[in-house]
Amino acid sequence: MTTVIGTDRAEIRHELAATTYDLLVIGGGILGTSVTWMAAQAGLRVAMVDAGDFAGATSSASSKLVHGGLRYLQTGNVKLVAENHRERRALAADIAPHLVKPLTFLVPIYKGGPHGAAKLGAGVFLYSALSVFGDGVGKVITPHQALAKVPALRTEGLRAAAVYGDHQMNDSRVAVMTVRAAVDAGATVLNHAEVVGLRKTSGSVTGAELRDRLDGTEFGVSARLVLNATGPWVDHLRRMEDPDAAPSIRLSKGAHLVLRRHEPWKAALTTPIDKYRVSFAIPWEDHLLLGTTDEAYEGDPGAVRATDADIAQILDEAGHAVRDSQVRREDITYAFAGLRVLPGGPGQVTAAKRETVLTRGTGGMLSVAGGKWTTYRHIGKYVLDILAHLPGRPLGDDLADILPAVPLPGLASPDAVAMRLWTDRDPGTRMDPLVARHLAGHYGSIAFDLSRLIREDPALGERIHPDGPDIWAQAVFARDHEWAATVDDVVRRRTTLTVRGLDTPEVRARIAGLLS
C-alpha cells in the first residue's frame, strides 16, 4: 500500500522548509489543532508542528468528557454552562456523532453529604434546561432505580440520586480526526518536530528552527505570524522570544485511573467530595475511568505522572460511592496524568478560572494557553479572530468565513457502520461484532478503509491482543494515514491497547517492527 501524501516525513519537512506560511502553529494539542483547522478553513497557509505526538500530553489525559460542566452552576456561571451545552450538542449531532456518545450521569445523594436532594434536583433540572432538555429532564430518582443503572453503587446511607445527561469520547481519536480535518482543509502538519530556536527578522519572530526528534534532521519554517500553543511549555517558548518574559501561567495536575470492570454500567457517577470538588466514575472503553485530582504542579511538564499518592486519593474518593470490590488496586490497567494550564496569579489552583490565557511578546509572537475539548472549536475560532485583527494585520485583510459546522472526517452513524462491517462479508469470514462496533465508534465511515485493508490482507483482521478489540489493520492505518511514528503513538493514542493494559512487550515489539 502506498503512503498517503501528508504522512511521509521527509516530504513534509521539505514542504515546511520551502514554503512561507501565513501562520505557524507550535503545539498540536487541543488548542493548536483547533486553531490550525480553523485557519485552514479560513483559507490561510498554515503549518502546525509538535515536539511530541499530536495531543500527546495533556490533551489526551482528559476525563474523556464532552460536557456542560455541572459544577460551574455551583459558582453561578450559568452563561458558561449554556455555551458549553451548545458546543456539546453541535459535536454530538453535527460535527462528530461517530466519536461523541451520549452518557447518563448519576449524582448519588448520601446522608450527611455536601449537597441535599432538593438542591441537587434543582441543579440538574436547571442543567438540563440550559441544554434545552436535549438529553431529557434532570430529575431525582430512588436508590433502587439508581442501583439498576449502576450495580456497583454503595447503598449505605444512599438517600437518592440526581440524574442528568452529558457526552463522552476518546480524546486521542478526536484529536487525530481533527488533525486529519485540518490537513483535508489544506494545512501542513508534522509531529515529533521540536522547536530549537525562533527565526527573527528585525526583532520580529518570523518562524522557527526545528529538529526532527526521530532522525535528528534540522530544518526551518518561515511564517508571517507564529502562534505558541505549547500548553504547559508556553512560557518556555516565550522565554525563547524574550529571556526576560515573566511567567504567564501556572499548572495544576489532574490524574486518572483506568480499571477493569466486573459488571456492566448503564450510567456514570459524579460524586460530590466536598462543596466544590467531584469525583468521576465513568464507563469508558469497556473499562472504568476514575478521576480526577487537582493540585498545583511545579515540576518538568514532560515528567508529569500519576503518583502512588494520586492513585490512593482517586481510589479513596471513588470509594465514597463505589463498592470496594470495583475499586481495587489490582484492577488498574492504566494510570495517567495531565496538566491544566491556568492563568498565573495567587490563590489555590482549584479556585483558579478555567479560561484562555493570551499574551503577545516583544517579537510579535502570540502565545495562547488553556482550553478544553467541549469548546475546542469555539476556542479555535476565538483565537483565529484575535489573530485576524492584530495590529498591522499580519495575516492580511481577507480571511474567508468559516462554515458553521464542518464535520470531522468519518461522519456517520456508528450503528450503521458497525452493521455494514458485520454483514459485508461471507458468513464464514464475518468480522467479530465487537471489533465492528469498536471500529465504527473510533473511525466512523473511515472504518470501511480498514475493512478494505483486511480484504487485501486477511491477517490484518486479527486482534493485536486477544483480550481487546483493536486489530492489526489499525496499526497499519495509523502508520500510513495518521502520522503514527512511534510505538506509543500507536498503542496509546491510535488504538486502545495501553488504556486496556494490553501493550505487552510482545505487542510493542511487533508494532515496532511494523513501523520500521
423 and 479 both lie in a single domain: yes
239 and 256 both lie in a single domain: no
Average pLDDT over residues 101-115: 91
Let me know if residue 282 belongs to a domain: yes
159 and 261 both lie in a single domain: yes
Q: CA of 110: how far to CAs of 44, 232, 413, in Å?
A: 54, 38, 39
pTM score of the predicted model: 0.94
Q: CA of 315: how far to CAs of 173, 309, 330, 331, 332, in Å?
A: 27, 10, 11, 11, 10
Let me know if residue 81 belongs to a domain: no
What is the rounded CA–CA span in Å between residue 244 and residue 221? 25
365 and 335 both lie in a single domain: no
382 and 299 both lie in a single domain: no
Domain boundary among 320, 343, 366: 343
Helical (H) or strand (E) element with 17: helix 9-18
380 and 476 both lie in a single domain: no
Let me know if residue 334 belongs to a domain: yes
What is the rounded CA–CA span in Å between residue 508 and residue 498? 10
Q: Cell for 285?
A: 472503553
Residue 352 has pLDDT above 60, yes or no: no
183 and 152 both lie in a single domain: no
Question: Taking Cα atoms as reference points, which of 215, 218, 289, 235 lies closest to residue 257?
Answer: 289
Let me know if residue 409 belongs to a domain: no
Let me know if residue 50 belongs to a domain: yes
27 and 41 both lie in a single domain: yes
Q: What is the CATH number of the domain that holds 30?
A: 3.50.50.60
* pLDDT of the residue at 2: 35
196 and 278 both lie in a single domain: no
- Residue 37 · residue 23 · CB < 8 Å: no
- Give the domain range for residue 15: 9-58+173-248+349-398
241 and 384 both lie in a single domain: yes
pLDDT digits (tens, 9 = 90+) for 46-98: 999 999 999 999 899 999 999 888 877 777 788 888 888 888 989 999 999 99
What is the rounded CA–CA span in Å between residue 443 and residue 470? 12
Let me know if residue 70 belongs to a domain: no
Let me know if residue 71 belongs to a domain: no
Count structural domains, the chain: 3
Q: Cell for 85?
A: 451545552
Let me know if residue 77 belongs to a domain: no
Q: What is the CATH number of the domain that holds 112?
A: 3.30.9.10
Q: Which residues of 407-439 are buried (b: 16+ CB within 10 A; e: fewer)?
A: bbbbbbebeebbebbbeeeeeeeebeeebbbbb
Average pLDDT over residues 103-123: 87
292 and 338 both lie in a single domain: yes
* pLDDT of the residue at 198: 98
Domain boundary among 298, 325, 343: 343
49 and 145 both lie in a single domain: no
pLDDT digits (tens, 9 = 90+) for 296-335: 999 999 999 999 999 999 999 999 999 999 999 999 999 9
What single-letter amino acid sits at 77? N
Lowest mean pLDDT among 45-49, 110-114, 343-347, 496-500: 343-347
Domain boundary among 298, 328, 343: 343
What is the rounded CA–CA span in Å between residue 383 and residue 31? 9
